[in-house]
């Protein structure tokens, strides 16, 4: 399964040289978020891939562009946490997956693109809230592709 990690574009050189290190995401109210590499399923659709970039620019009030780092999930990335961000924060133990097979069986629709198709029961998924948290460092050799944002605007 291919996944993407988004980081500010000025960190691209460091990530390509040193890999992606686990870190804390923003504080979530009173408690700290889980330490790890925050990633998302890699959609092959350019519009959907760009949606994460737009969301990050909206959520982060500082100016800056984001690049995406695409890599493949491997067995050494497990156990990992996957699901909707609010469930991941409330009970991460119940959202922990120990193998790629287990992840694919329960959440494979997020990777296949079926998540975007309307269900017969008219149940809609909010794929924008889905995240995966890998607890270990991602080596630079595992990065398959960099999704580059446009150059940042120069301030006059």
Q: Would you place residue 113 in the very low, low, confident or very high pLDDT band (cuts 50, 70, 90)?
A: low
User: Average of pLDDT values for 104-116?
Assistant: 66
6-39: pLDDT as tens digits? 998 889 999 999 999 998 655 555 556 788 999 9
CB atoms within 10 A of CB 88: 24
CA distances from 134 to 45, 82, 116 (A): 23, 9, 24
Q: What is the pTM of this model?
A: 0.77
Residue 13: HSE in the Cβ half-sphere, 13 Å Cα cutoff: 1
Q: Which residue ranges make up each domain of the chain? A: 2-147
Whether the Cβ atoms of residue 95 and residue 83 lie closer than 8 Å to each other: yes
Residue 96: phi and psi, rounded to 5, are -90, 135
Residue 57: HSE in the Cβ half-sphere, 13 Å Cα cutoff: 15
With a CB cutoff of 8 Å and minimum separation 6, the contacts of 77 are 134, 136, 138
Whether the Cβ atoms of residue 42 and residue 4 lie closer than 8 Å to each other: yes
Q: Would you place residue 1 in the very low, low, confident or very high pLDDT band (cuts 50, 70, 90)?
A: confident
pLDDT at 135: 92
pLDDT: is 99 or 123 the higher one? 99
């Amino acid at each position: 399964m291919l996944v993407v990690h988004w980081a500010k574009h000025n960190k691209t050189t460091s990530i390509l040289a040193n890999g992606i290190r686990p870190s804390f995401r923003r504080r979530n109210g009173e408690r700290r978020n889980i330490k790890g590499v925050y990633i998302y399923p890699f959609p092959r659709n350019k519009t959907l891939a760009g949606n994460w970039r737009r969301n990050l620019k909206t959520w982060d009030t500082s100016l800056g562009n984001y690049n995406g780092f695409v890599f493949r999930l491997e067995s050494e990335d497990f156990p990992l946490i996957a699901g909707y961000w609010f469930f991941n924060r409330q009970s991460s133990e119940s959202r922990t997956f120990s193998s790629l097979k287990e992840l694919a069986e329960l959440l494979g629709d997020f990777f296949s693109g079926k998540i975007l198709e309307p269900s017969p029961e008219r149940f809609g998924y909010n794929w924008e809230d889905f995240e995966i948290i890998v607890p270990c460092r991602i080596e630079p050799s595992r990065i398959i592709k960099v999704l580059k944002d446009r150059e940042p605007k120069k301030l006059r």
